[in-house]
A and B are shown apart, each in its own frame.
Chain A
Amino acid sequence: MESNGLKGKNLVVVQLSGGNDYLNTVVPYQDGLYYDYRPNMGLRGESVIPVDDRIGFNSHMAPFKRMYDRGMVAVIMGVGYPEPNRSHFRSMDIWHTAEPLTSSSEGWLGKVTRALDPEGRNPVTAVNFGRGLPRALAYPGVSVASVGALESYGLYTGLAGAHNRDALLDTVSRIYQPMSEEGFPSLRILQTGRGALDGADLLRQAPGHHNSSVEYPEDNPIAQSLKGVAQVTSAHLGTRIFYTAHGSFDTHTNELVNHTLLWDQLSEAVECFWADMEEQGAADDTVMWMFSEFGRRVADNGTGTDHGSGGCAFLIGPSVKGGLYGDYPNLDSAAQLDGDVRYNTDYRDVYATILESFMELESEPILNSRFGQLDLATV
């Protein structure tokens, strides 16, 4: 299936679930206050890779730093939204719906999918790697493929002893033909079934289209998801939105072990992915958005950190103007918001920028309002 003729870039979302600790990701390593607030969790010396004379990356982000040095990583510091909510669910909903103040069940990327494919012609315009639809992709009438693993995606793949799978699929495929609504309230269920079957066929074959010298680590779940993204990209199915998640970053305890492991996995996976994208010639057509529902408290709790507000996010790709955006973390007690880093960049400004500067879409109908633009694109 060819792309639908729209020029914008494909969007790869990497959700850091659980609340990624901003201050141990982008470390204010010259700020005495950081070490005052984090007597146990503060990163020192070789645990920090300096980025400039004020901040550095967690040393477990070495591949990330290499990409940063190539100018393809925009670090958005202090990103957040008004009236921060410290519940995982609610805060994630806020990021997913682009509505910080009212509860909504419509996802911003669901609306993007609708804008990209208004008639719902392509069942794989948006592909989620994981089971269950993230609310970001939920929108009435928009179908999204949710894939556990590409090779085993589709109907009856987990059925024990399903030697009869082909026979089952043949018959089910005959039944789900949207030709007559006799017996049903409308054609919709049949169309949905058709989309599901077609989408499954397309996606399951995607790995066969992928030739790459990049070796994604096997025991790294986010690397495997991003490999899936690369496979679907190489199959040219017209997929425009890819959704992946990594975690859990909910590091209330044992943070120095857990947080670093997660970033080891993530940095390696992301570096593999971009090497692969370049090999496929798809890097310039792709942009990656990495966010978390919130940052964590400024002060540690002994062995970890609790839920906070303002955090950091990343926009990555060769079309991104790399560098540091937003204000440096200000840990002065007067500058804090109830013990958290105060946000200084509205996340919807980044959404608007992704939509307008990278996806070539009008942001206002999707975000319900006009937001500022950040200067993040190289052209």
Chain B
Amino acid sequence: MDVELMAQLLRRAGFGTTRDQIDKYLQQGYEATVEELLNPVHREPEDQDLMDRYFVASVEARSPGHADPQWAWRLATNPNPLEEKIALFWHGLMAVGGVKLDHGLEMLTEIELFRRFGLGRFEDLLLEISRNPGMMYWLDNQNSHSGAPNENYGRELLELFSMGIDENGEGAYSEDDVKAAARAFTGWASEVTPPPFFLGPFPMVFRFNPDDHDDSEKTFLGQTGNWNGDDIVRIISEQRATARFVAMRLYDYFVSDTPNDEEIERLSDVFEENDGEIRAVLRAIFNSDHFKSEDVRYRKMKSPSDLVFGTVRLVDRFDLPELDSGTLANNTLFMGQHLLNPPSVEGWHEGEEWVDSGALIERINFASAEVSRTDGRGVQRMLARVRDAGDELDGAEFVEACLDAMGSIDVSPRTRSILIDHANGHGTPWETDASDSTDRAVEMFQLIVSTPDYQYC
């Protein structure tokens, strides 16, 4: 069984995990693991009560800043990592930002929506987000009235959420389609409900207002009828352009920073054949020869979330939602990813753009500090694994043992040879019983997370 491949699956479908956890997955096999990841049992997190007790200011969060600790905790600890990974995907694609929606409770509602619907049929997700009060406010649909439609939602729905535009700014839809969509969504509004406590935020609920809905005939993407918003969502979801757009974005997020037209066409077919089910597209990704090939291994730059939550999961340090875990979102912010506040309605750009020199320093300093926590469970298990590799290890053996203990990381031959030089620089082989065995192993862990290789997943 291919340890490297399993490690990659967990880095892409999740944030990476411990070497022990990889062994557990290996016992059940690759395809069974894919299915387990794709079919998380969705439930109210058992730790919601725990979060509410530890993150007191986060209860019924007022601002996105108050909501951060809750999502950070779930990103760091959710045993179904794909739930968080897909929520982050849709959060970037159907971006709603705290820059305008200054409402932590609604932001968390959206993330939960993405967890629940993010792996199901695209049409269902699109309908849910179109009924989502935070989204409606973000894209001004509450200001869209019969006779005076606001086109913002109709446009972004087509351009950014479903059909997309090409490099020339052209979409497979016309300005008239945008206008028709905007008219169909008139009357889709929300209302606020009383806050749960004094000075708390006002939860928002969807409300369709038939009196403010333009029920007249509309022609949308060549189809004519008295369309309402749900008709628009249905018609959009049947378009090849939509299949292709979603396939392209999923490929970009889960597979590689370099687009592959052949794969994207294949995944678009899978999307259409499965009624737009995202789970089916991801299954076709993870089980493909392409995904398993060397062509895409370590060919995706880790996002700040991948880096922060992947490293935190590797060192497995949190039992309780303590203050440190609440501030993890600050670390992604320092590295350029402000969770719950994407830079624009376009979300984030994946790929090498993530890493500038300031961000790289933050990444290396964060990760090297995490793997230095010798009192933590994860680091202790890493040390134990290095010890299990042999009582006395030469440079190459020692580097290999450390890489393997850290979740079967692979590095380029050049990086590996420099790491081996470093190990050999001590002048003696690494010995289990030597007084500096822990220090030397931790030093190697620190170096490994500092490599350019570690910035990719």
Contact with A along B1-17 (1 / 0, CB 8 A): 00000000000000000
The answer to whether the Cβ of B333 comes within 8 Å of any Cβ in the partner chain is yes
The answer to whether the Cβ of A189 comes within 8 Å of any Cβ in the partner chain is yes
Query: With a CB–CB cut-off of 8 A, which chain B residues contact A180?
Result: 414
Query: With a CB–CB cut-off of 8 A, which chain A residues contact B425?
Result: 167
The answer to whether the Cβ of B27 comes within 8 Å of any Cβ in the partner chain is no
The answer to whether the Cβ of B173 comes within 8 Å of any Cβ in the partner chain is no
Contact A195 B100 (CB under 8 A): no
| B99: contacting residue among A89, A184, A189, CB under 8 A | A89
The answer to whether the Cβ of B389 comes within 8 Å of any Cβ in the partner chain is no
Query: With a CB–CB cut-off of 8 A, which chain B residues contact A189?
Result: 301, 352, 355, 452, 455
Contact A168 B358 (CB under 8 A): no
- Number of A interface residues, CB 8 Å? 49
Q: Give Cα A171 to B411, complex, Å.
A: 15
The answer to whether the Cβ of A280 comes within 8 Å of any Cβ in the partner chain is no
The answer to whether the Cβ of A9 comes within 8 Å of any Cβ in the partner chain is no
Query: With a CB–CB cut-off of 8 A, which chain B residues contact A144?
Result: 356-358
Contact A171 B414 (CB under 8 A): no
Query: With a CB–CB cut-off of 8 A, which chain A residues contact B413?
Result: 182-183
**Contact flag A171-B357 (CB < 8 Å), given A182-B414, A183-B413, A188-B352:** no
B225 to chain A, nearest CB (A): 34
Query: With a CB–CB cut-off of 8 A, which chain B residues contact A367?
Result: none
Contact B446 A192 (CB under 8 A): no
Query: With a CB–CB cut-off of 8 A, which chain A residues contact B422?
Result: 167, 171
Q: For chain B, residues 342 to 398, give those with C-beta under 8 angstroms from any C-beta of chain A.
A: 343-346, 352-353, 355-362, 364-365, 368-369, 372
**Contact flag A159-B447 (CB < 8 Å), given A132-B334, A184-B452, A188-B352:** no
Contact A168 B357 (CB under 8 A): no
Contact A90 B257 (CB under 8 A): no
**Contact flag A159-B446 (CB < 8 Å), given A89-B99, A185-B352, A189-B352:** yes
Q: Which of B372, B421, B450 has the most CB of A within 10 A?
A: B450
Query: With a CB–CB cut-off of 8 A, which chain B residues contact A217?
Result: none
Q: Give Cα A250 to B360, complex, Å.
A: 31
| A196: contacting residue among B102, B353, B357, CB under 8 A | B357
Contact B357 A103 (CB under 8 A): no
B-binding segment of A59-67, A135-143, A256-264: A135-143
Contact A155 B100 (CB under 8 A): no
Query: With a CB–CB cut-off of 8 A, which chain B residues contact A123?
Result: 357
Contact B358 A145 (CB under 8 A): yes
| A182: contacting residue among B344, B412, B443, B456, CB under 8 A | B412
Q: For chain A, residues 175 to 228, give those with C-beta under 8 angstroms from any C-beta of chain B.
A: 175-176, 180, 182-186, 188-190, 192-193, 195-196, 199-200
Query: With a CB–CB cut-off of 8 A, which chain B residues contact A188?
Result: 352
Q: Give Cα A67 to B344, complex, Å.
A: 40
Contact A133 B336 (CB under 8 A): yes
Query: With a CB–CB cut-off of 8 A, which chain A residues contact B372?
Result: 159-160
The answer to whether the Cβ of A87 comes within 8 Å of any Cβ in the partner chain is yes
Would you list the 6 A-B pairs with minimal beta carbon distance, nearest first? A183-B412, A146-B358, A196-B357, A89-B99, A143-B357, A105-B343
List 29 A–B pairs whose Cβ atoms lie within 8 Å, in order of A's numbering: A89-B97, A89-B99, A93-B99, A103-B343, A105-B346, A131-B362, A132-B333, A132-B362, A133-B358, A145-B357, A146-B358, A146-B362, A156-B364, A156-B368, A160-B369, A164-B439, A168-B447, A172-B450, A172-B451, A175-B415, A182-B413, A183-B412, A184-B452, A189-B355, A192-B356, A192-B360, A193-B357, A196-B360, A199-B357
